[in-house]
Structure 1
Amino acid sequence: MAFAGTPDDAVPTLRALAGAGFEIPVVVTGAPRRRSRRGSDAPSPVGAAAAEIGLAVSHEPADLVSCGADCAVVVAFGQLIAAELLAVTPMLNLHFSLLPRWRGAAPIERALLAGDDRTGVSLMALEPSLDTGPVYWQHEAPIGLADTAAGLRGRLASEGADRLAASLAEGLPTPQPQSGTPTYARKLTTEDRRIDWSQPAVFIDRQIRVGGAWTTLDGERFIIRAGRPADSSRDAVHDAPPESAAAHDGPPGTLAGDAVATGHGLIRLATVQPAGRGAIDAHAWLRGARLPDGARFD
């Protein structure tokens, strides 16, 4: 079978298939690109893994058909595969949601932002339309109160890879049409990650756990890498420093110690990244920042 994928999310599946002894004549992935400002072009995570395993690498989707494989597995490839290719070679897609909920580019992030209490992995037959194919199986996973998008992604990638390799070895069941109301997971924008402090703490907590949540302080971008609602069960396992207020009367965005007022409840900061600096423990940042009383995130 051929394989198509690009990011880290797809690497566990490639390794699982290769480790299970499946013949993989070609791995199609995104072209090399610069990963940092000063770096040179580097292969995608899937391209690097394929080269390490000793598999042929291509950047042309047509090679999924021309390689002669009887089917192809696609995981987070990042490109739509043309209908004429799908008409020649059947393709399986491992998708990180419980379809038809969260079809599209950012299913894990959208599930987390929406406050879903569960997500999962679906194996479907790939169709020209977006994530509409019949489903062979689904693997469900809970979303915990402290789960991050990065953590969920790693867990689903690993569990989905193992389940896929095992199900291919055993033989796939007959796929069933998707059932339920579809929702769509459009890619997150910079504005989706911007914190509106008038929102409740539980929603802002989910933004932070998605990753890249930001606000501004004195007109400069300020990223909040980790935090938690001050009144949640997550807070009980942490010792609150004496300067943290249980509540205060400031408007949303106002800092009181390591706590920030929201539209409902407080967010306690854990790890922050001021403009032009790396990530730092929030208490260390507060000690050095010497903020005036009433300092406020915009």
Structure 2
Amino acid sequence: MSFAGTPEDAVPALRALAMAGFEIPVVVTGTPRRRSRRGSDSPSPVAMAANELGLPISYDPDDLAERAADCAVVVAFGRLISAHLLARLPMLNLHFSLLPRWRGAAPVERALLAGDAFTGVSLMALEATLDTGPVYWRREAPIGPADTAASLRDRLAHEGAERLVASLTEGLGTPGLQQGEPTYARKLTAADREIDWSQPASRIDRQIRVGGAWTTLDGQRFIVRAGIPLATTQQMPPATLVGDSVATGDGLIRLGVVQPAGRPATDARAWLHGTRLPPGTRFTQAAST
């Protein structure tokens, strides 16, 4: 059974398959790349895990079918698999959503940003078109008020890996066609992450929990890494700094961890104590700076 995957989200499935005794003739992953501005090229998390497990690594998807494998498992590979390759080798795809809701590149982030009460993980037969294959199973997972995109992905990756091994061991059964109206999880852009302080605190909270939420202070990007929504009767214009909180369209967001431009992430209270901003300081949106 060949394997294709790239980010940390795919590592639990690879490890689970190896620990369960499945023979993995090749692991196909993304090429080494720079993962920080000042760093050098480094292997993907899946490549590092494959090295630890003593498994052969390739960067060419065609190698999935070149080795002695009866199928391949694909988890967050990051590239579409061509129709000619799928014609040579059947493939299973572990996808982090309740298909057909949130087909595409960023299903966890989109589910969280949209305010979905539930997300999940699905195992489908891979097709050349985007996440359209018949589904063997779906496992539902609630989205809690403190869940971040990172914590959700980690939970789904481990739950999906456990269920994947169990279903391969016990038998996959027959997949069924996806039921329901599809929605598409396009990759998030900087615009998706920019905070509009006139929005409800609940939406801004979800943006922060997705990761990388930002605003503008004194003409420079200011990232909000963590915060807590607060209900209040405070009547201040949105985007106004009120103590250690920021006014929104219907409440406050208490700042927890922030990252001013050119500086590391820090506790918001420590930043405020050192910066000593004047009363009435307001954040702005990029378009209005």
Q: Give TM-score scaled by structure 1 length.
A: 0.94
In 2, are the aligned partners of 1:221 and 1:274 still within 8 Å (CA)?
yes
In 2, are the aligned partners of 1:29 and 1:57 still within 8 Å (CA)?
yes
Q: In the alignment, what sits opposite 2:259?
A: 273
Q: In the alignment, what sits opposite 2:29?
A: 29
* Inter-partner Cα distance in structure 2 for 1:101 and 1:192: 19
Matched ranges for 1:120-199 at <5 A? 120-199=120-199
Q: In the alignment, what sits opposite 1:57?
A: 57
Superposed CA offset, 1:226-270 (max 9, x none): 001112xxxxxxxxxxxxxx4433211001101111111111111
Superposed CA offset, 1:176-206 (max 9, x none): 0000000000000011000011111000000
CA-CA distance at 1:33 after TM superposition: 1.1
* Inter-partner Cα distance in structure 1 for 2:42 and 2:173: 39
Q: One-letter code of the match for 2:244?
A: D
SS of aligned partner of 1:173: coil
1:293 counterpart = 2:242: no
Structure 2 unaligned blocks of 5 or more: 285-289
Q: One-letter code of the match for 1:18?
A: A
* Inter-partner Cα distance in structure 2 for 1:36 and 1:112: 26
Q: Give TM-score scaled by structure 2 length.
A: 0.97
Superposed CA offset, 1:13-54 (max 9, x none): 000000000000000000111222332221110011101100
**Mean alpha-carbon deviation: is it higher for 17-26 or for 260-269?**
260-269
* Inter-partner Cα distance in structure 1 for 2:174 and 2:116: 28
Q: In the alignment, what sits opposite 1:228?
A: 228
Q: In the alignment, what sits opposite 1:240?
A: none
* Inter-partner Cα distance in structure 1 for 2:209 and 2:86: 36
Q: One-letter code of the match for 2:274?
A: G
In 1, are the aligned partners of 2:3 and 2:74 still within 8 Å (CA)?
yes
* Inter-partner Cα distance in structure 2 for 1:12 and 1:31: 19
Superposed CA offset, 1:153-177 (max 9, x none): 0000011001101110111021000
1:264 counterpart = 2:276: no
* Inter-partner Cα distance in structure 2 for 1:145 and 1:173: 35
1:283 counterpart = 2:269: yes
In 1, are the aligned partners of 2:99 and 2:182 still within 8 Å (CA)?
yes
**Mean alpha-carbon deviation: is it higher for 33-42 or for 6-15?**
33-42
**Mean alpha-carbon deviation: is it higher for 109-118 or for 280-289?**
280-289
Q: One-letter code of the match for 1:263?
A: G
Superposed CA offset, 1:118-146 (max 9, x none): 00000000000000000000111000011
CA-CA distance at 1:150 after TM superposition: 0.4
* Inter-partner Cα distance in structure 1 for 2:257 and 2:39: 27
In 1, are the aligned partners of 2:20 and 2:165 still within 8 Å (CA)?
yes
Q: In the alignment, what sits opposite 2:15?
A: 15
Q: One-letter code of the match for 2:202?
A: V
SS of aligned partner of 1:144: coil
Q: In the alignment, what sits opposite 1:108?
A: 108
1:87 counterpart = 2:73: no
SS of aligned partner of 1:277: coil
In 2, are the aligned partners of 1:253 and 1:260 still within 8 Å (CA)?
yes
Structure 1 unaligned blocks of 5 or more: 232-245
Q: One-letter code of the match for 1:204?
A: I
In 1, are the aligned partners of 2:234 and 2:251 still within 8 Å (CA)?
no
* Inter-partner Cα distance in structure 2 for 1:188 and 1:117: 20
Q: In the alignment, what sits opposite 1:216?
A: 216
Q: Percent identity?
A: 75
Kindly report structure 1 stretches of 4+ aligned residues shifted beyond 3 Å: none
